[in-house]
Structure 1
Amino acid sequence: MSGNKDGDGGWATFVWNSEKKEFLGRTGCSWFKIILFYVIFYLCLAGIFVGTIQALLLTLSSYKPTYQDRVAPPGLSHTPRLDKAEIVFSMSKNDTYVKFIESINALLKPYDDNVQTNEMKFEHCGDAPQWYVDRGSLENNAGQRKACRFSKSLLGDCSGDDDPTFGFKDGTPCIIVKLNRIVNFRPKAPSGNQSLPEALQGKVQPNLIPIHCKNKRQEDEGKIREIKYFGLGEGFPLQYYPYYGKLLQPQYLQPLVAIQFNVTLEQEVRLECKVYGANIDYSEKDRYQGRFDIKLTVNS
């Protein structure tokens, strides 16, 4: 068989057969037809791919996620926040809490009054909790929307204005709490006192999402001396919602609540904080859904 190949010219003849005018076993006409077939075939595939992408893009909004079924609103987060949600420091050693101060300062930097002076971007939304501020629908082509001002001075003793250590040097540390941003989400105030803890009974203000912290463990109840809350109404006012997203509200400032703890020294205290609203739920699988817990140890 190999002799026949050699007699036929072998590979040189297969590459170019001068008698039959074939290149790699095909004539020019055959090559033209097969190349034309694959060009048309892949152009059709590309057209189908581009068409499906364009059809998908027509269903998507530039301003909000189309599918939010995996989002469990809202998350509650705090600063400073560590991996193990544990805050341990000594009052007499500032190097043990300087990292906490730095994280709080970084969070509050956009809340300085001199950053919120642009009248085209910010507006005053009242000195007390009010109803939602309606700035139109997401898709009405009205351009960027204004955002409500929120001054860090509303955080009182935890603003850093009078005490740059946010209470850490005195053993009464502050944490800053916020509801995570979700586009077009409107938190609803509690509909009644049934779902509220005893400490909030009769104290709830209208147009406000209240927050409350208490001991996580029964044995820690006697270790908590006092818990103070600072902010506009000491909760999350409704006029700061809904959030219109980074494209329409890049300057948006979500409302903050500062919580100052005074606990027994040299003792680990487990604390749990929750927000209360008609459309706010909690999950055992997600410890930051509508709540969080921290371990706090204040040493001398």
Structure 2
Amino acid sequence: MFYKLRKSLKKRRFARQARHILGVPPITHKDAPILIMSNLCHDDVIMYLVAMKSFYPRIGGGDILIVNDGSLTDSDKALLKQHLCNPEIRDAATVDTGACPDYIAWRGLRCAIDASKDRYVIKLDSDVVALDDLPEIKACVAENRSFVLGSFDCEEIWTPEQALEHARGFTSDHIQIQAERSFVKFPDADNFRYVRGCSGFAGYQKGLYEWADVEAFCQKIEQHIDRDEWRKWGSEQVTVNSLVANSPNPLILKMPKYTNHREDTDVTKAALVHFLGTWRFYGGRYAACARRAVATLSA
């Protein structure tokens, strides 16, 4: 209970610190063969405006899709439409994930996979801040290459044996660890690849992915992991990592230019930072990066 209260208070404090993003002029829509997709809840609206307003000018255009977890108010929706040039806001409850888990991240993934049939899709979490030019991302779009943000554990493509070796270092039964232990049992293990990346910032190349293939992956992994376990938080990230790793010529974004944030991260070297989870508000760096992004946009 106290953890949730502290987390809520930190979010509110950040929202106050970052409200200057509302003074930055609205995004001007530019045509580009890109869809930028994000899952969003009421508490993260200011964070998301920082993410999108800092990222959109760096990528050069595209359409915006927001997958509403059900908590966005009418005021939230009006604010988003005002500042983001009338994005599409889709209710997650209307999205069918079929044989796959159905929590919000999976519903967003379904939207991303379906949209990638016709254009390049970028998944952008609300706790991302873009601080400098992103030529690697533009190149992925131009070359139709999938990408994913690397992690502190991994910035390269692994074989199932390498994933298993990493998982052996943990006593946890978190779903990601269970999955990484199971890949060696796949019938196609010799050809399967994996990256322990972060699905909060990922790119899906156009014309490659089908939801039926995602369902087939779920069904395959459920032969080795309890179905109820696979429906826990974290299975979507395993799936995204697998989709990207098994695409042609994927790019794994590496530190320090593209980085997740923890207590020892030097954000001054980063072009894009993902302020995820436990260390999101550590050291005031998230608010500092938001102020830096606002200053750049204002200039």
Which one has a larger percent helix, Structure 1 or Structure 2?
A: 2
Q: TM-score range by the shorter chain?
A: under 0.3
TM-score when scaled to structure 2? 0.22
TM-score when scaled to structure 1? 0.22
Which one has a larger percent strand, Structure 1 or Structure 2?
A: 1
